[in-house]
Chains A and B, each alone.
Chain A
Amino acid sequence: GQNIDQPTEMTATEGAIVQINCTYQTSGFNGLFWYQQHAGEAPTFLSYNVLDGLEEKGRFSSFLSRSKGYSYLLLKELQMKDSASYLCAVSVNRDDKIIFGKGTRLHILP
């Protein structure tokens, strides 16, 4: 079976740093994606990890450990506009279909 786990909700303060974890157990693995989704809008692409290690892109970084089935998204210098759901998704082997976790709702407090 396929399973992707993320915390349901997190709260952080404006200007701080927050780490959103994702663990996965899938029948195969081609890569891992992170998406941001504001309420009532479609998901927008943030990052893509294929190899182990950290990928940095501005205020956002994403880490992958394939041996542990683990990833995290790190958001620095939090802004109020970062309040959104963050979705972890895995590209599964062979047929390359992409499956999503349930998402983590991030609340930013002033």
Chain B
Amino acid sequence: GAGVSQTPSNKVTEKGKYVELRCDPISGHTALYWYRQSLGQGPEFLIYFQGTGAADDSGLPNDRFFAVRPEGSVSTLKIQRTERGDSAVYLCASSWRQGPPFFGPGTRLTVL
């Protein structure tokens, strides 16, 4: 596809469960970002990949959150033991080197 895709578009889970959110970046983009956004707020930085490695993971809130990008393309954000406070829209974006990131449609996560 031409743009960034994210799956699922919506995820409802119960407190304490494990979830995986997937991001498929624009082909050839080397950089990949994960953000989360709550209503009325700007995107909150979580983690940034350059290629396969996490260049900066300082935004991950705690050790329940983990992200991988094993082949330098698709990335998965993993959240263990979900809590109600994890409910948000999780946005993925990709860019070519230092160019502007282009965002996917997001995954709306609801933890009951």
Contacts and interface: CB of A to CB of B under 8 A. Distances in A.
Interface string A83-107: 0000100010001111111110000
A27 B45 CA distance: 15
A96 B101 CA distance: 11
A101 B59 CA distance: 15
B98 to A, nearest CB: 6
B91 interface: yes
Contacts of A31: 98
Interface string B25-49: 0000001010100001111110010
Given A31-B98, A87-B43, A102-B42, A97 B55 contact: yes
Given A87-B42, A87-B43, A95-B48, A30 B98 contact: yes
A16 B109 CA distance: 38
A44 interface: yes
Given A87-B43, A98-B33, A42 B106 contact: yes
Contacts of B56: 95, 97
A7 interface: no
A39 to B, nearest CB: 10
A103 B104 CA distance: 18
A99 B99 CA distance: 14
Contacts of A95: 48, 55-56
Interface of A: 30-31, 33, 41-45, 48, 87, 91, 95-103
- Shortest 7 CB-CB contacts between residues of A and residues of B: A100-B42, A42-B103, A95-B56, A102-B42, A97-B56, A45-B100, A97-B48
